[in-house]
Structure 1
Amino acid sequence: MAGIGSARRADWIRRWAAEVDTAAARMVATFEAVYGFPPGANEVRLAGVGDRVAADRYRDDPLAAPWMADFYAVVAEVSLPDVGNGYFIHSAASALGLRDECGYAFLPHADDPRGLVIGSTGAGVLFVADWGGAVHRSVAASMDADFEPVADSVEHFLHRLRQVVHEFVDSGTVQDL
């Protein structure tokens, strides 16, 4: 999907969001009966006007991955606390707030060793997108931890997250991302 325009990318992101949100809704419908406690808010929240303003501010960051900026123009955030250990894609405003508070994440395996935190797991492991769009995962719950590559693009990361969601919803199997 490299090299496609933002409009086609936005359509792909909308389809991805609908598919993941539908899978999460299926999980929530039977969650308490299966696991014995009520689920949290498992959803893909689409971007509103304020979220799109934050997406534009994110796009202005010199280390922002264009794919991630396009994602934020469509999807405000993803909250999947009950999928495995929990997966979250933070809002653009949260990503920028963390950058302002803590700086950029250091990525020793990337071409440019800095990136913006875009998400986390329920255990606090961080996901960081570098300016080229590759996504890295911290080996511990810290901005000071080492990071390892987990996807060569934001699109690949989203594909993998969708697979993790479907696998958990369909079989209860917890996969790492």
Structure 2
Amino acid sequence: MTTPDLSADWLTTWQHEITAMLQQTLARFETAYGYPPGDNDVLVADDQSRATAARLEDATVPADLLTFYSSIAEL
């Protein structure tokens, strides 16, 4: 990553950009490869994933990783 400090705002922007590119790719995927692409999403964190990330604060987990887990639930 080229960001000096990972922030929730940066991750939100990243999620929107990746989702837009992913939609473009998936629109052509089956034609190009001959089979459906399956599920491909970037899911933003919900209350449950944010609570799980908060429990990691007591562990030795880098702050940027906690920010990621608090912002992005699943790839």
* Same fold flag (TM > 0.5): yes
CA RMSD, aligned part only? 1.5
Q: Which one of 56, 60, 67 corresponds to residue 70 of structure 1?
A: 67
Q: Which one of 3, 9, 12 corresponds to residue 11 of structure 1?
A: 9
Q: Which has the higher contact order (CA 8 A, sep 6+)?
A: 2
Runs of 4+ in 1 over 6 A off after TM superposition: none
Answer whether contact 1:25 1:43 (CA < 8 A) is retained.
no
TM-score, with structure 1 as normaliser: 0.39
Find the aligned partners of 1:58 and 1:23 in 2 and give their Cα distance.
Answer: 31
Report the equivalent of 1:21: 19
TM-score, with structure 2 as normaliser: 0.86
Count residues with an aligned counterpart: 73
Report the equivalent of 1:105: none
Report the equivalent of 1:58: 56
Find the aligned partners of 1:59 and 1:14 in 2 and give their Cα distance.
Answer: 21
Which structure 1 segments of 5+ residues have no match?
A: 79-177
Q: Identify, as 1 or 2, the structure richer in helix.
A: 2
Give 1:58 shift: 2.2
Q: Once the two structures are aligned, what percentage of the paired residues are identical?
A: 33
CA deviation profile, 1:54-75 (whole Å, cap 9, x unmatched): 111123212x110010011111
Report the equivalent of 2:34: 36
Find the aligned partners of 2:18 and 2:24 in 1 and give their Cα distance.
Answer: 10
Which structure 2 segments of 5+ residues have no match?
A: none
Q: Look up the equivalent residue of 1:42 and give its one-letter code.
A: N
